[in-house]
Structure 1
Amino acid sequence: MRLTLRTLLAWLDDTLPPEEVREIGTQVSSTPFAQTLIERIRKVTRRRRLTIPPTSGPEAVDPNTVAAYLDNELEAEKVAEYEKLCLESDVHLAEAASCHQILSLIKNKAKVPSESRYRMYRLFKGPEAVRTNYRVAVPPAAGMVPDAVSGAPEAPWAKTAPVPRSWFEQVVPWLVAVLLIVVLGAVGYLNLRYAGVQIQEADSLAAAQFDPDAAKEPDEEVADEEGDARPAPPPLSEPARVEETDQPEPEPEPTPEQPAEPAEPEAPLAAGDVAVVEQTDGIVLRANPTWERLSADDSLAPGDRVVNLAPFRTTLSMGSVRITLIAQSELRVEPPALADTPRFALIDGSVVLRSPNAEEPIAVGFEGRTLSLQLPPGRPVGLSWMGLKVPGQPAGRPLLTILCPAGALGVTFDDGDPQEFEGPTLVSVDPEDGILGAEPAVMPQWVVDPEPQPADIQAGEAFVELFEQSTGSITFTLLEGIEDPDPTVRSLSVAALGAMAGSDPEALEQVMPLLNRPGDPAVRGTAIGIVMRRMARGTEPAEDVRGLLERFIAPPEATEAFDRLLLGVPEDQIEEKEVYAELVADLSSPNAGVRQLALDTLMMLTGRETLGYDPDSPEGPGLKAWQDLLKENRLTPAR
C-alpha cells in the first residue's frame, strides 16, 4: 500500500484495517519525511489563530474538491495537485487533517435524530418548495409532521407561524426598563450632588487653615444662602510687638505654607539593642544560640541571626529604616559602625528597605564585604541574594542584586568611590569583583508591593496552625510538619529546615534523607532545591553537601548519580547522545531522588514535558516514551 497523505491521515486517525496499519507503520518508521509530516500535522491542527483557506486566488480550493479527496473519489491528477498544495500550505493541511479526523470520529455514520432533522428543515425553505396550501383536510403523507397549534399536517420545511404574545408580555418589559433608567439617573444625580458638597466643605476647611481671611467670605455666602446665622471664624489677632533686644532671634517655626515633615516614629529599644521586630504575619526565628520564635516588639541585639520562614513577611525597625524580610530570608544584626547608622548582613533571601531620609546611609554586609546604600527617600529598594552556578562546575558563587524602582540610589562598595544610579534599575554586585554594572529592569512584585499573595496567605495559615498546636521545640515542630497530611505544610516544613541550615548544620542533616523519600514528590523536590541552593553558595558549602551525600545516600552508585546530576551537564556536552542515554538510564534507578533529578534534567535540556513519566512509578508508558525518543535520536537540546 502506497504511503500518501490520505493513507497517512487514515493511519493517524485509526481508520485502516489491522494489516494495513502494520504496513503503513513500517513505512512511517523508515521514512524521515513521513515522521516530520506527522509532527507538522499535529502542530497545525492544534495551532491557534490559524486562518481559513482563501476563497479566491491561486491557493483557493473548492470545498467539493476537499470532500471528494476525503471520500477517495477525486481524479488522480487532481489528487496529486491537492496533496502538493497541502504539503506547501499549513492552512490547507490543517483543513484536510481536521476534516478527516472529524469524519473518522463519527465513522461516517453520524445518526441525526429525527427531531433535529425536522428542526433543521424548518429553518430554511428551499426555492423548490412552492407556496401551496398544506393545511388541507387530507391525511398526512409520509414525512409530514402535524402542526403543534392547529393539529393540521405541515410540511417539514414550512415556517411555523409566530405565537401571539399578550399585552402584559409586551408592555411590562418596557415599563421595567424605563423604571430602571429613572432610578439609575436619580442615584447618579444624588451622588454627584453629594460629591460637590464634600468638595466645597473640603475647600472651605483648607482655606480656613491656611488663609482665614479668604475663608471668611465663603462662610458668609453660605450663611446668606441658607439663612443660617453661623458666625464667620474670628480674624486672627495681630501679634504683639516685641521690643528689639540684643538677644539672638529664635529660629522661625514652620509656617502653614511650609509644614514640617513629620518624622517616622522610632520603635523603643532596650539598652544594648539596635533593632526591633515591628510586625510579622507568621513565623520568624532567632538563633542566638538556640532557636526561638520572635513576635512583634521583640528587641534584637548585635549578633542576632533572624530567619524569616516562607511564605511570611516580617518588618524590622533600625532607627528610621524599615527592613521587610520576604519569604525565606536570613540576616544578621550588626553593631552600627557610626552613631545611629543601621547595619546588617544579608545572608540569604530577599529584603525590602525603606528610609525617609536620603542623607542617612545604610551599611549592608554581603559575604564579608560592605555596601553603603543611600536610598531614595520614602521609596522601596530591594536586595536579593542569588547563587550563580554554571552547569558542570562543582560549586557556584554568590551574587547580590539591588532593585531600585524609582529615584536616585547611591551605592559604595567597601572603600571605593560612590556611584549613583537612577531607577528603575538593577545593580549587580559580586563580592570579589565589586559592582558589576546596572541595567534597566522590570521590578518584581515583592519589591513594589511586599504584601503576600492570596495563595501565600492560605498556605501560611495552615503552617502557623502547625506551630500553634505543637508544644515541642522549633526543630521538633518542623519534623512533625514533614509528616503532615497536607503536602503544602510538608513542603514548607522542609523549606524551613533548609532556611535554618545556615545557622544550624544539623538542620541540613535532617533534610538529606528526604532526597530519596518515595511517594512524596513535594518533599523530595523541596529537599533537592535546598541542596542545589547550598551548592551555589560556594566551594565550602558544596563540599559539605557532597560529604552528607556519602553519609545519607546509599548505595554508592546512587551517591555518584546524585553528585553527577547535581553537578549538571556542561554546555559543551549537551549535544552528545551519551549524556541523554545516561539520563534515560537514570529513570530506572532504584533511588527515587535520582529518578526525580534525571527527569528534571531531561525536561530542562529538551524542553519537553514529563511524557507521562512518574518518578514514584517508573515502570510504565512514560519510561517507554523516553526510551523510544532515545532510540529514534529525537532527544536533542531545546533551542
Structure 2
Amino acid sequence: MRLTLRTLLAYLDDILEPTQTREIGARIKENEVVSAIVARIRAVTRRRRIGSPELSGPGSSPDPNVVAEYLDNTLDPAGVADLERVCLDSDMHLAEVAACHQILTIVLGEPVTIRPELRERMYAMGAVSPTPEVGSTTAPVPYAVGSATRPVVPEYLKRPPLWKKLAPLSLAGLVAAGWLYLVATGGFFGDDDQKVAVNEPAPKSRVEPAAPKAKPAAAPAVAPPMIAAAPMQPELLEPEPLIDETPIVPQPEPVAADTAVAATGAAATIPTPPMPGITAPANPPAATEETPGLPEPTVMYTSTEGVLLHRPKGRPTWTVLPRRAILHVGDEVASPEPFIGDLQVSSPTDPALSLRVSLQGGARIRLLPATELMLAEIEINRGRVAVFRGVDGIPHALGLGVTVAGQRTEFDAASPQTRYGLWVELPRATPTPPAVEQWPVPSGTLFVATGTVNVRRNNLPPLSGEPTTQSLEWTDQSADSFAALTTVPTWLNPDIRPLTSQKNWARMYEDEFKLDLPVDDGIGPVAEQQKLNTIATFATRTMALIDNVPVLVRVLTSPHEDTRHAAIVGLREWVMMSPDHIPRLEEEVNRVFRDQEAPIVVKLLWGVTDQEARDEAASLQVVEWLANDDIAIRELAFYEVLRLANRDLSYRPQNAVGQREPAIMRWRDLVRRNKGLVPSAPPAILTDPATEPAPEPATEPAPPASAPAPQP
C-alpha cells in the first residue's frame, strides 16, 4: 500500500484492516519524512484559530466539490496531485481536509440515532413551498398539517415492521432445530458403514493414507462500517499485494572468491547478496532499455517543498513533477537551483531495502533498468547527488549502480547510516577544440561523509572503503585508493541550514513554476525579462540544466551581470557534451547577433589561446573588444582578460562609456608592458662557470631583460 496522504488520513482515523494498519505503522516509523507529515497532521487538527478557506473570491480554492471528490476517491490523478500539493504546502488546507475526513469517518462509522417522535415532528413540518417566479400571479399554497398534500415518508426512513425484525431469528431457530434433530437421530455420527458424511472423501481415498488436515483459517475480523463504504477507501496509486507472491526459486550455491578468480582470471569483487524477492537469472542480460529486466525499483519524489523537473521517457518536454509522484525507467529528473529534490528508492518487494537520493541544485539524472545485485541504476548527467542509508537493520550492503559517460561504477553502502555524495563535473570549452577521438568526458568524485562505501569499476580491482571521511576520483582509471578528506562538503552536512534570505529567494522562484506549463515556456521568459538579478540568474541556470540553448544565447545580452555569467558557463559546458554541438552553437549565435558580431561571440565563447594571450597584437584586439557596443561581446571579452590576467582594473561591462574608457586605457598599457595579456617568460641561458668571463664594473645597473623599453 502506498503512503499517500489519503492513506495517512485513513491510518490516523483507524479505518484500515489490521494487517494494513500494522504495515503502514511500520513504514511510518522507518520514513522520517512521512513521520513528520503524520505529526504535522495531528498538530494542525488540534491547533486553535487556524482559520478556514474562504467561501468565495481569493483564497477560496480548492473548490469544496473537488475536496469532496478527493475524499470519495473519485477525483482524477492529476487533480489528486494538485490537491495534495496544496494540502502539504498549507497548514490551513491540510487541517480542513483532515478534519473533514475525520468527521466523515465518525458519521459513516457510527450513524446518529434519531428518536421516532423527532422524525415524526420533522415530517409534520412539511416541505418548503417553491418561490414564485417574477411576474407570476400564482401565490404559494400554505401547507396545512393533516392535509392530503402531506409528503410521503421515504421507504428507507420508515420504521421496519416487526416481522422483518423477527424473520432472521426465526430462520436461525429453524436451522438450530434441524441440526439438533440430526444429532439426536444419528444422521451425522451413526455407526452404519453405509452412511457417508457430507464432507467425507470418495471411497477410493480410504485405501490411501489420510493427509494431515490443515488448521482451519481464523475467521476474518469484522471490518468497521467505514471500510464497507467504497467512497472512503484510501487511494492506491499502484495496487500491491500485501503477501509476496513471488515464486521461491532455489538459489545457486555461493562460489568462493579464490575459485572465481582462478576460473575467470579477473580480480575478485566484493560480493553483494541479492535482494529478497528478486531472482537473479543464470545469464543476466545487459541493462538496456530495450531488454526487459528485473522489476523496477520504487522511486518516489518525497520533497515537501521546492521544485523538481521531470522529462518522461521518449518525450522532449520538461515539466514540473507533482508531489509524491512515481518515476519509471527511462525518466529524467533535474533539480534546479536553489532547490533540493529528495527521491526515496525502495526495492519493489521489500520496502525496508531503501536509499534516499537527494539531487542538489544543478543535478540531473536518468533512471536505468535494474540489475540483479543493485537496488537501483541511475545515469548522472551532471551535478551533485547525495545518497543516504538510514537505520534499517539489514546485514548486507545496499548497492547503487551509477553510469557517467558510458562508464558504469557500483557503490555499496556497506553499513547503516552511511552518507556519501557523487559530484559529476562537465568539461568546459577550451580555446582549441579537441579532436573527436580525444573528446573529454565528465569527471566524477566520491565524497564519503559517514559510514563505509565500497567501489567496483569495470576491469579494475574493487576498492574497500573505511568508516571515515575520504574521497575518490572514481572516473580516473589511475586512482587506485581512497584519499583522506579533511572536511566534509557543505552539501553533505545535514546540520547546515540555509539562510533566511536564501529561503525567501527560493520561495519567490518557486512561484514562477506552473504545473500545467512546460518549463521552457514558463521559465524561459523569466530568464530574459526578469528585473530581479537573482531570479533571472536562477532561471538562466535552469535553462542551462535542461539544455535550452536558444534562451542561453539570448540571455548573453541581459542587463544582469550574474545572469550573463550563468549563460556563458552554460554554453561552454553544453558545447563540450558532444562534437555535434559545435555547428549548432554557431547556428544559434547567428540567429541572435549580426553578421559582423556573430564570429566574435563564437570566438570568445571558445576562449583565447595561450599563444594569442602572449601575442601583443592579438591581446590588444581582445582589449579593444572591451569597448564594443554590444554588451555580450564586452562581457565575453572581460571574462577572458579576467581569466588570463587575473585582474579587473575597475572595469565593468555594464558601465557607461565614460566609466569604461579609463579602465580600457589601463588594459592597453598592461598589454604593451607585458607584450601580451600574459607576460612571456625570458629564455633560460645555460653557461659554464669555469669559462664565464668576469663581469666588468658598470656605473649603472643594466635593466632586467623583461623590463620595457623607455618611452619618450
TM-score, with length taken from structure 2 = 0.47
1:448 to 480, 493, 501: 493
Matched, 1:375 2:413: yes
CA contact (8 A) 2:401 2:408 kept: yes
Shift in CA distance, 426/561, structure 1 to aligned 2, threshold 3 Å: farther
Residues 480, 563 of structure 1: alpha-carbon distance in 2 compared, 3 angstrom cutoff: closer
Query: What is the identity, as a one-letter code, of the residue corresponding to 2:446?
Result: I
Q: Is the 8 A contact 1:273 1:299 kept in 2?
A: no
Query: Match for residue 286 of structure 1?
Result: 310
Give SS of 1:569's match.
Answer: coil
Query: 1:622 and 1:370 mapped to 2: Cα distance?
Result: 50
**CA–CA separation in structure 1 for the residues paired with 2:319 and 2:300:** 15
Alignment of 1:124-203 (within 5 A): none
**What is the CA–CA distance in structure 2 between the aligned matches of 1:312 and 1:575, rounded to whole Å?**
43
- Going from structure 1 to structure 2, the CA distance change for 1:577 and 1:420 (only over 3 Å counts) comes to farther
Q: Show the counterpart of 2:531.
A: 485
Change (3 A) 1:636 1:545: closer
| Aligned amino acid, residue 578 of structure 1 | A
Q: Distance in 2 between matches of 1:450 and 1:535?
A: 37
Q: Which of 584, 601, 620 is equivalent to 1:562?
A: 601
- What residue in structure 1 maps to residue 298 of structure 2? 274
2:20 alignment partner in structure 1: none
Partner of 1:286, secondary structure, is: strand
- State whether residues 276 and 316 of structure 1, in contact with CA within 8 Å, keep that contact through their aligned partners in structure 2: yes
CA contact (8 A) 1:284 1:314 kept: yes
Match of 1:353 in 2: 387
Say whether 1:315 aligns with 2:356.
no
Superposed, 1:499-578 pairs within 5 Å as: 499-501=545-547, 507-517=548-558, 519-555=559-595, 557-571=596-610, 574-578=613-617
Partner of 2:447: helix, strand, or coil?
strand
Q: What does 1:606-625 align with in structure 2 at a 5 Å threshold?
A: 606-615=645-654, 617-618=656-657, 619-625=660-666
1:428 aligns with 2:473: yes
Identity %: 15
- Select the residue among 414, 425, 429 that pairs with 1:386: 425
* Equivalent in the alignment of 1:365: 403
Aligned to 1:410: 454
Structure 1: gaps of 5 or more residues: 1-266, 502-506
What pairs with 1:335-350 in structure 2 (closer than 5 Å)? 335-338=369-372, 341-350=375-384
Take 1:579 and 1:426, find their aligned partners in 2: how far apart are those partners? 42
Deviation of 1:348 (Å): 1.5
Give the superposition deviation at 1:607.
Answer: 1.7
Q: CA RMSD in A?
A: 3.0
Please give the alpha-carbon distance, in whole angstroms, between the structure 1 residues aligned to 2:368 and 2:563.
34
| Structure 1 residues 376 and 552, CA gap change in structure 2 (3 angstroms) | farther
Residue aligning to 2:331: 304
Displacement, 1:565? 2.0
Residue of structure 1 equivalent to 2:278: none
1:223 matched to which residue of 2? none
**1:477 to 1:616, Cα distance in 2 relative to 1, 3 A:** farther
Equivalent pairs, count = 364
Quote how far apart the aligned CAs of 1:330 are. 0.7
In structure 1, the residue corresponding to 2:633 is in which secondary structure? helix
Cα distance, 1:476 vs structure 2: 2.1
> Is the 2:454–2:465 contact (alpha carbons within 8 Å) kept by the matching residues of 1?
yes
Relative to 1, partners in 2 of residues 1:275 and 1:467: Cα closer, same or farther, differing over 3 Å? same
1:326 corresponds to which letter in structure 2?
Q
- Matched with 2:169 is none
**TM superposition shift of 1:465:** 2.1
SS in 1 for 2:445: strand
Q: Per-residue displacement from partner, 1:306-337 (whole Å, max 9, x unpaired)?
A: 11111001110111111000001111112211
Residue identity matched to 1:497: M
Cα distance in 2 between the residues matched to 1:601 and 1:450: 38
Stretch of structure 1 that moved more, 541-550 or 376-385: 541-550
Q: Secondary structure at the match of 1:492?
A: helix
Structure 1 length-normalised TM: 0.52
Q: Aligned partners of 2:635, 2:469: CA distance in 1, in Å?
A: 39
Aligned to 2:512: 466
Q: How far 1:636 sits from its partner (Å)?
A: 5.0
Question: How far 1:531 sits from its partner (Å)?
Answer: 0.3
Shift of 1:452: 5.6
C-alpha spacing 1:268/1:346, structure 2 compared with 1 (3 Å): farther
**Counterpart residue identity of residue 371, structure 1:** T
595, 601, 617: which one pairs with 2:634?
Answer: 595
Distance in 2 (CA, whole Å) between partners of 1:279 and 1:335 is 24
CA distance in 2, matches of 1:390, 1:526: 14
Q: Deviations over 1:285-307 (max 9, x none)?
A: 11112333223321111111011
Gaps of at least 5 residues in structure 2 are 1-235, 241-295, 347-353, 435-439, 682-712
Between the aligned partners of 1:450 and 1:634, the Cα distance in structure 2 is: 51
Instruction: State the 1:418 CA deviation.
Output: 1.4
Say which structure, 1 or 2, has more relative contact order (CA 8 Å, 6+ apart).
2
**Alpha-carbon offset, residue 620 of structure 1:** 3.1
Structure with bigger helix share is 1
Match for 1:516: what amino acid? T
Distance change >3 Å, CA 450–CA 427, structure 1 → 2: farther
Shift of 1:635: 6.1
Cα distance, 1:448 vs structure 2:
2.4
The CA distance in 2 between the partners of 1:409 and 1:515, in whole Å, is: 42
Which of 667, 690, 694 is 1:626 aligned to? Answer: 667
